């Protein structure tokens, strides 16, 4: 806004200067001969023309310099604002991830891992062995829900929060955080199939064989058609995507 005002002022000054210059020079470069004919002093015309050209060039260069200066200042301000918005987005994400980490702790908890608050990427698949147990996080459900039910509620909240940050107009579309969020959302959508595990927890004919497969799995099973363990594989992959994302944003 300030740049446009200054440019407009300079252009108006240029027009006024040219008009005054032409008026003054026109009076000076012509006269009347003895025969009452108008005659022009061509030397003066050349001098005035040269002076006008130089003055216009100086003013034109001044306008360009001012334009470049204000454009750089504007870019600097935009960059600072972008960094502020990015830092706020990262803070919100870390807050959301910490809440999610708590839900993951209660999902995978055993007495042998009671002090394990942060799980690494590619943790053992066997850690899913207790997901159908009654949740012991009494601050949320007072022992009325299974772990997987409680986890899915927290997961849905976390996903809504990252969607909100991703769709925020202040997050630049060419930023690393934007691309990281986009990749995470894509992966979470791809592995969304684990919601059926709530049904598994209520049906012994599904729960029992699922837990048996988990208990004997040394590695992560492969997704195959009509495989009863597929929802657990999706759950595992989804958790890993979030854990990888958490590591990545700490480096932004």
pLDDT at 174: 79
- pLDDT on residue 104: 94
Residues contacting residue 203 through CB under 8 Å, at least 6 positions apart:
none
- Tokens representing residue 147 in the block: 């772990």
Domain co-membership, 64 together with 113: no
Instruction: Judge if 116 and 210 occupy the same domain.
Output: yes
Which pTM value belongs to this model?
0.69
Q: Per mean pLDDT, which range of 61-65, 121-125, 164-168, 237-241 is the poorest?
A: 61-65
Most confident stretch, 13-17, 18-22, 37-41: 13-17
Domain termination residue (choose one: 73, 93, 112):
73
E strand or H helix at 110: none
C-alpha triplet 5, 11, 16: angle, nearest 5°: 125
Are 12 and 134 in the same domain? no
Q: Are residues 91 and 65 in the same domain?
A: no
Please tell me whether residues 96 and 219 are part of one structural domain. yes
Q: Is the pLDDT of residue 232 over 50?
A: yes
Asked if 148 and 206 sit in the same domain, the reply is yes
The more confident residue out of 240 and 116 is: 240
- Mark whether 182 and 230 lie in a shared domain: yes
pLDDT at 32 over 50: no
Among 73, 102, 132, the domain-final residue is: 73
Total of domains in the chain: 2
163 and 239 part of one domain: yes
Residues 64 and 87 grouped into a single domain:
no
Cβ-based neighbour number of residue 104 at 10 Å: 22
Task: Give the end of a domain, one of 73, 91, 112.
Answer: 73
What digits encode the pLDDT tens for the residues 180-222?
Answer: 999 999 999 999 889 999 999 999 999 999 999 999 998 999 9
Do 220 and 148 fall within a single domain? yes
Q: What pLDDT is stored for residue 188 in this prediction?
A: 95
Q: Provide the pLDDT confidence category of residue 114 given band limits of 50, 70 and 90.
A: confident
Q: What is the pLDDT of residues 117-150, one digit of tens each?
A: 888 999 999 999 999 998 776 555 555 789 999 9
60 and 119 assigned to the same domain: no
pLDDT band at 29 (very low <50, low <70, confident <90, very high): very low
- Domain ranges, residue 103: 82-249
Please report which confidence band the pLDDT of residue 86 belongs to, taking 50, 70 and 90 as the band edges: confident
Query: What pLDDT, on a 0 to 100 scale, did the predictor assign at position 137?
Result: 63
Q: Average the pLDDT over 35-52 and give the result.
A: 57
What is the predicted pLDDT for the residue at 28? 52
In this predicted structure, the answer to whether residue 228 has a pLDDT above a threshold of 90 is yes
Is the same domain home to 92 and 206? yes
- DSSP annotation string for 32-60: E-TTS-EEE-HHHHHHHHHHHHHHHHHHH
C-alpha torsion 11→17→22→27, nearest 10:
160
């Amino acid at each position: 806004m300030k740049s446009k005002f200054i440019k407009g002022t300079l252009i108006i000054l240029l027009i006024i200067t040219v008009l005054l210059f032409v008026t003054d020079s026109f009076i000076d470069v012509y006269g009347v001969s003895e025969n009452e004919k108008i005659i022009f002093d061509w030397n003066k015309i050349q001098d005035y023309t040269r002076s006008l050209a130089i003055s216009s060039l100086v003013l034109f260069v001044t306008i360009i310099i001012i334009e470049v200066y204000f454009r750089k200042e504007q870019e600097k301000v935009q960059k600072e604002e972008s960094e502020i918005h990015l830092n706020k987005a990262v803070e919100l994400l870390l807050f959301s991830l910490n809440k999610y980490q708590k839900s993951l702790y209660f999902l995978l908890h055993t007495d042998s891992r009671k002090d394990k608050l942060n799980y690494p990427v590619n943790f053992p698949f066997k850690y899913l062995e207790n997901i159908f147990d009654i949740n012991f996080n009494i601050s949320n459900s007072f022992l009325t829900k299974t772990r997987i039910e409680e986890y899915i509620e927290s997961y849905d909240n976390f996903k809504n929060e990252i969607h909100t940050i991703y769709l925020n107009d202040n997050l630049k579309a060419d930023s690393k955080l934007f691309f990281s969020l986009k990749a995470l959302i894509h992966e979470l959508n791809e592995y969304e199939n684990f919601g059926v595990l709530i049904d598994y927890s209520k049906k012994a004919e599904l729960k029992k064989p699922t837990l048996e497969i988990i208990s004997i799995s040394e590695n992560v099973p492969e997704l195959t058609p009509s495989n009863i363990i597929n929802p657990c594989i999706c759950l595992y992959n989804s958790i890993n995507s979030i854990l990888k994302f958490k590591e990545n944003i700490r480096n932004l």
